[in-house]
Amino acid sequence: MRINWKCVLFYWSTAHPLFLTLCPLLLSRCVIVINKMATSASACLSKAVKQEYMKLPQGDKVQAMYIWIDGTGEGLRCKTKTLDSEPKSIEDLPEWNFDGSSTYQSEGSNSDMYLIPSAMFRDPFRKDPNKLVLCEVLKYNRKPAETNLRITCNKVMEMVGDQHPWFGMEQEYTILGTDGHPFGWPSNGFPGPQGPYYCGVGADKAYGRDIVEAHYRACLYAGVNICGTNAEVMPAQWEFQVGPCEGIDMGDHLWVARFILHRVCEDFGVVASFDPKPIPGNWNGAGCHTNFSTKEMREDGGLKAIEDSIEKLSKRHNYHIRAYDPKGGLDNARRLTGHHETSNIHEFSAGVANRGASIRIPRNVGQEKKGYFEDRRPSANCDPYGVTEALIRTCLLNEEGDEPTDY
């Protein structure tokens, strides 16, 4: 990784106008370096100047950033509303609207969509008392938008609340330059083969740790239930874990964690990609392994309930594959090849400590006869509402067949 001297010099030129006139050599060097790693122009704006404005008092007013999922089912949008006082609960937040024709969610002739506040977090970018507000999207007729999977997920979660379903999702992602090239990779080639990068330490093994650390701390500040992070198998690929979360909270917390990651990357001038197979060839893809348990599974003898659920999942493989990426399985087809720690998309498999299976039972769970199982099929760009809902429908509501039951 090379220092982006262009951004450094921009900052110093803002604070010390004579600096650039004294250092023409450095200025010429920065042009060479910036060509090796494509970053956004906005990342070079002086963050020190911005902070002078962010220190200004805001009185009793509060900035609430409303966040929603757009018509792609994986993209996030946001805009900010001023409130007269700090909201203490979701009920204190007003509904809002937006132009759905610009987010792939409506036509221009009938474009207004409703934003319904659903979950609230502290804002790590503007800081207290400002808020991040995750919203559901409703169409003009108050029916859920096609990519609003939260509403049915929440109904399903309420049906099984007495079983206390817990989830933990392992979100893999890849850091890219604005040109789509993986962060830190040689501009005209590839890094060394996979092996030293997973949980790696050192400048030649861990690419982009500053982004990871900033994201982790921002999630903790926001109140996201992030529980860990690590460098992944492919260089410039990382993972963070969210959970355990009960019921609908899993989807809420993961979506906000994704939003925070996008915002952190925006400040650094790079891109977070959730593509399931960002680099073709002999490189690992990116998934969102989902850990699942119920109260019965976590109690003594819970392995029987785990095995019963796996048996149900084995009979509904195609339904889950369709639910596990936003393109109905097409994205996962590039990743689930049976290689690079994945199962084959066309086959269902399960095993203890087997990372090449559809469902993995952790070794300690097999030994203690209780705990949870891991579904390794969801793609990195999955909708966590869709994934967790599918698990509940099959494992707890005992649904069968290729279509969900309409309750």
What is the CATH code for 157-395?
3.30.590.10
pLDDT at 5: 47
Cβ contact 232:380 at 8 Å: no
Pairing between β-strand 131-138 and β-strand 62-69 as defined by DSSP bridges? parallel
Strand partners, 63: 82
Q: CATH 3.10.20.70: does it fit domain 62-145?
A: yes
Residue 35 scores a pLDDT above 60: no
Cβ contact 325:268 at 8 Å: no
Query: What's the average model confidence in pLDDT over 358-376?
Result: 96
Q: Give the C-alpha separation, 293 to 280, whole Å.
A: 34
Q: Give the C-alpha separation, 137 to 9, whole Å.
A: 43
Cβ contact 305:294 at 8 Å: yes
pLDDT at 280: 93
Residue 404 scores a pLDDT above 50: yes
Cβ contact 206:231 at 8 Å: yes
Burial annotation 305-321 (CB, 10 A radius, 16+ → b, else e)? bbeebbebbeebbebbb
The conformation of residue 85, written as its DSSP 8-state character, comes to S
The conformation of residue 49, written as its DSSP 8-state character, comes to H
pLDDT at 36: 61
DSSP E strand boundaries for 70-194? 76-83, 96-99, 112-122, 131-138, 166-176
Cβ contact 149:383 at 8 Å: yes
Tokens at 210, concatenated: 């500053």
Q: Give the C-alpha separation, 395 to 160, whole Å.
A: 11
Cβ contact 382:325 at 8 Å: yes
Coil, helix or strand for 396?
A: coil
pLDDT at 188: 85
Could you read off the pLDDT of 133-159 as tens digits, one per residue?
999 999 999 999 999 999 999 999 999
Which one has a higher pLDDT value, 215 or 17? Answer: 215
Q: Give the C-alpha separation, 390 to 396, whole Å.
A: 10
Query: What's the average model confidence in pLDDT over 389-406?
Result: 96
Claim: this prediction has a pTM higher than 0.85: yes
Percent of the chain with pLDDT over 70: 91
Residue 328 scores a pLDDT above 80: yes
Residue 325 scores a pLDDT above 60: yes
pLDDT at 370: 97
pLDDT confidence band for 8 (50 / 70 / 90):
very low
Return the amino acid letter for 211: I
Could you read off the pLDDT of 244-258 as tens digits, one per residue?
999 999 999 999 999
Tokens at 243, concatenated: 């959970």
Q: What is the DSSP string of 178-234?
A: TTSPBTTS-TTS--SPSSS-TT--STTT---HHHHHHHHHHHHHHT--EEEEEE-SS
Residue 1 scores a pLDDT above 70: no
pLDDT at 2: 46
Query: What's the average model confidence in pLDDT over 306-316?
Result: 97
Q: Give the C-alpha separation, 292 to 310, whole Å.
A: 11
Could you read off the pLDDT of 343-355 as tens digits, one per residue?
999 999 999 989 8
- What residue ranges do the domains of the chain occupy? 5-54, 62-145, 157-395
Could you read off the pLDDT of 73-99 as tens digits, one per residue?
999 999 999 999 999 999 999 999 999
pLDDT at 62: 98
Q: Give the C-alpha separation, 30 to 3, whole Å.
A: 9
Could you read off the pLDDT of 93-119 as tens digits, one per residue?
999 999 999 999 998 788 899 999 999
Query: Around 354, how many Cα atoms within 13 Å sit in the side-chain half-sphere?
Result: 14
pLDDT at 338: 94
Residue 177 scores a pLDDT above 90: yes
- What mean pLDDT is reported for the chain? 92
